[in-house]
Amino acid sequence: MHGVVDPASAILASAEQPHGKLLEVRDLTVEFATRRGIVRAVEKVNLTLAKGETLGIVGESGSGKSVTSYTVMRILDRAGRIAEGAISFSGIDVAHASEREMRDLRGREMSMIFQNPRAALNPIRKVGHQIGDVLLQHVQAEPRNVKEKVIDILNQVRIARPEERYHAYPFELSGGMCQRIVIALALACRPQLLIADEPTTGLDVTTQKAVMELVTELTRARGMSTVLITHDLGLAATYCDTVMVMEKGKVVETAPAEQIFRNPQHPYTRKLMRATPRPGIVLGDLLPEGEGGVAAHSAPAVATSDVPLLKVENLIKEYPRQGAPSPLFAKFTGKAVDPKDAIFRAVDGISFEVKKGESVGLVGESGCGKSTTSTIVMRLIDPTAGRITFDGQDIGAIPARSFAHHPIRRRIQMVFQDPTESLNPRYTAARAIADPLLRMGGMGGLRGGAALDDKVEELARMVGLPADLLDRFPHQLSGGQKARVGIARAIALKPDLVILDEPTAALDVSVQAVVLNLLEELKQTLGMSYLFVSHDLHVVRLLCDRVIVMRQGRVVEEGTSQEVLEAPKDAYTRELIAAIPHPPV
């Protein structure tokens, strides 16, 4: 037939293979029409998925991993189209199937779970009804028994009190619970293929573990095939049979999970592998081979002294609880308000020290009070009670609003979580770095001029920011470059203490590797102390001498990084460490 292989016969041939391929993608190219013209999001992608197999698609942002999976489901948005290639799903030509055929496949034969489970659910429809809609659509239930079936499915995804939850709205459920509902929705009709698109990003590690275990158990029990899309190599290593690595729309390597981690072939895979934090390595190991990095973290150049720089004692921060009756209201109704109901303690009496030249990690899951603590130490908000001593001076007593003019202000600086949001969109990189010098560095006024430019360029050099990028605005810089600007601004005044608030959480792993090494190098050159706030124990371990683990506003464990990671004393710390997926060491 004109020298082209008839797709139907090709599919027929593949369907006859002994192990049974469920999904086969050949030379898939997807294009998007944008304001800047046609953009190729995915180029010549090939993949095969056998029945019961779990395939991990790994890549950094913009690698095309999500687009590939949306194309398989044919739920690309309007601007995207399949330019080339064939997709066959259990004998059906997906690229050319009618919308009606696709609708019957979606939800019944192939389904998907998404990142950000709360947004993935209709906010104003009861979750039970949302699951019921899918069952009714695919004639898996009838109106008279649909509720029964939904409750049965809720039971399967381990939702406690399913009769009650049936009537819940998404906003009444926790993030982890919402993800269970999304899983229930996806598995309701017992499909053959499940595509999980970053299913646990944004969830805490312990919740992540529970969700992933649930998915694995349910799909395995039903003999389903799974595609797990993730940026996290550790997650792919833990849960997948085969791993496919993508970069800029192309597949660079596909191999069994074990093999890809033991013996990565492609340079990009090797780089990605090395950049992923895992037990038993030092900071320099994150960088590509031959790029060295910091000498060796095991032997710090600047010896940690015993002089405490920062001392926090019995720090407490209370907030009025949302939706709690106000005292005035209580007076009207005559009902006494229990102070426990009205007040929420974000930080509940914690104490710790940071010594000169030391890096201390503050670790915990969302809502544990670590960010509140760091913001108080930063003197941006006032504590409810407790003492904060910095270099012998009680700075906790100085109100946050007047701290801007205090001489100690310049000695405590911060690197923010989101590099984009922490830069004024109307300031160039140079202006952002110069800001502290102008305000507190004595370089304001007309004297500044050339000296200021020199200083800004020197700082840019220190953080590895090319001088020609200094005239750019934040939206013209990449994530890593913006992070460098933020770091340059923080170190401009040679502070004694820098608070790092999840400084790499918004960055891809390869950029994270570079930024972490840069931070270590700067610390050694400038002799600063770090207070590193993070949710990721593996990252913290690489940069910090000591680790403090927090939970519900309290410190549960404190010790050297090695002690805490290798021999955790507290049960919660053990749970936390066990929950972090990582590639085989």
Partner 1 sequence: MTAVPSAPSRRRGSGGLAATLKHAHYVISDNPVTGLAFFMLLVLVVAAVFGPFIVPHDPLASNTMSALQPPSATHWFGTDQLGRDIFSRVIVATRLDLAIAVFSVALVFAAGGIAGIAAGFFGGWTDRIVGRICDTIMAFPLFVLAMGIVAALGNTVTNIVIATAIINFPLYARVARAEAAIRRQAGFVQAARLTGNSEWRILLTQILPNILPIMMVQMSLTMGYAILNAAGLSFIGLGVRPPTAEWGIMVAEGATFIVSGEWWIALFPGLSLMFAVFCFNLLGDGLRDIVDPQRRT
Partner 2 sequence: MLKLIGSRLATAIPSLIGVVIVTFLLTRVLPGDTAAYFAGPAATPQAIAEIRTKLGLDKPLPTQFVDYVSALSKGDLGTSLSTGQSVAHEIATRLPASAELTLCGLIFALLIAVPFGIAAAVKQGSWIDHACRLITTAGVSLPVFFTGLLLVYLFYFRLGWAPAPLGRLDVFFSAPETVTGFYLIDSLLAGDLETFRAAAAQLVVPTLTLAIFALAPIARITRASMLHVLSSEFIRTARASGLTSKTVILTYAFRNAMLPVVTTLGMVFSFLLGANVLVEKVFAWPGIGSYAVEALITSDFAPVQGFVLAMAILYVALNLIIDLAYGIIDPRARSEA
Token pair 């950000």 is at which residue? 116
Among the listed residues 115, 230, 428, 529, the single contact to partner 1 using CB under 8 A: 428
Q: How far is the CB of 381 from partner 1 (least distance, A)?
A: 10
Size of the site for partner 1 (CB under 8 A): 48
By C-alpha distance, which of 79, 58, 399, 408 is closest to 252? 58
Kindly state whether residue 383 participates in binding partner 1, applying the rule CB under 8 A.
no
Task: Note whether 121 binds partner 2 by CB under 8 A.
Answer: yes
User: Within 16-158, where are the H helices?
Assistant: 65-73, 99-105, 127-137, 146-156
- Phi and psi (nearest 5°) for 331? -60, -40
When asked if residue 319 is in the footprint of partner 2 (CB under 8 A), the reply is no
- Contact status: 431 vs partner 1 (CB under 8 A): yes
User: Smaller CB distance to partner 1: residue 190 or 439?
Assistant: 439
C-alpha 505, offset from chain centre? 6
For the chain, give the longest Cα–Cα distance. Answer: 88
Nearer to partner 1, 267 or 367 (CB): 367
Residue 450 binding result from partner 2, partner 1, none, given CB thresholds of 5 to 8 Å by partner type = partner 1
Which range in 45-53, 355-363, 448-456, 533-541 contacts partner 1 by CB under 8 A?
Answer: 448-456
440 interacts with partner 1 by CB under 8 A: yes
Kindly tell me which residue out of 150, 195, 452, 576 binds partner 1, with binding defined by CB under 8 A.
Answer: 452
SS3 488: helix
- Selection from partner 2, partner 1, none that 548 binds (CB < 5 to 8 A by kind) is none
Q: Interface mask (CB under 8 A) for partner 2, residues 77-106, using x and -?
A: xx-----------------------xxxxx
- H runs (alpha helix) in 157-307: 162-165, 175-187, 205-221, 233-239, 257-262, 267-275
- Residue 105 binds: one of partner 2, partner 1, none (C-beta under 5 to 8 A by kind): partner 2
Phi-psi category of residue 88: left, alpha or beta, with phi > 0 → left and psi -120 to 50 → alpha: beta
Q: From the list 111, 192, 359, 561, which residue makes contact with partner 2 (rule: CB under 8 A)? A: 111
134 binds partner 2 (CB under 8 A): yes
Single out the residue of 126, 113, 109, 68 nearest to residue 211, CA to CA: 113
Query: Is 123 a binder of partner 2 (CB under 8 A)?
Result: yes
Binding to partner 2, residues 175-234 (CB under 8 A): 182, 185-186
In 287-358, beta strands by DSSP E: 308-320, 343-355
> Which listed residue (115, 242, 372, 413) binds partner 1 by CB under 8 A?
413
Select the binding partner of residue 133 from partner 1, partner 2, none (C-beta < 5 to 8 A, by kind). Answer: partner 2
Query: Cα–Cα distance between 286 and 387 in angstroms, integer?
Result: 38
CA distance 124 to 336: 34
DSSP assignment of 356-392: TT-EEEEE--TTSSHHHHHHHHTTSS--SEEEEEETT
CB of 156 to partner 2, least distance (A): 17
Residue 500 sits in the site that holds partner 1 (CB under 8 A): no
Sign of CA dihedral 352, 354, 360, 362: positive
65 within 8 A of 246, measured Cβ to Cβ: yes
**Contact positions vs partner 2 (CB under 8 A):** 73, 75, 77-78, 102-108, 111-112, 114, 116, 119-125, 133-134, 137-138, 169, 171-172, 182, 185-186, 323
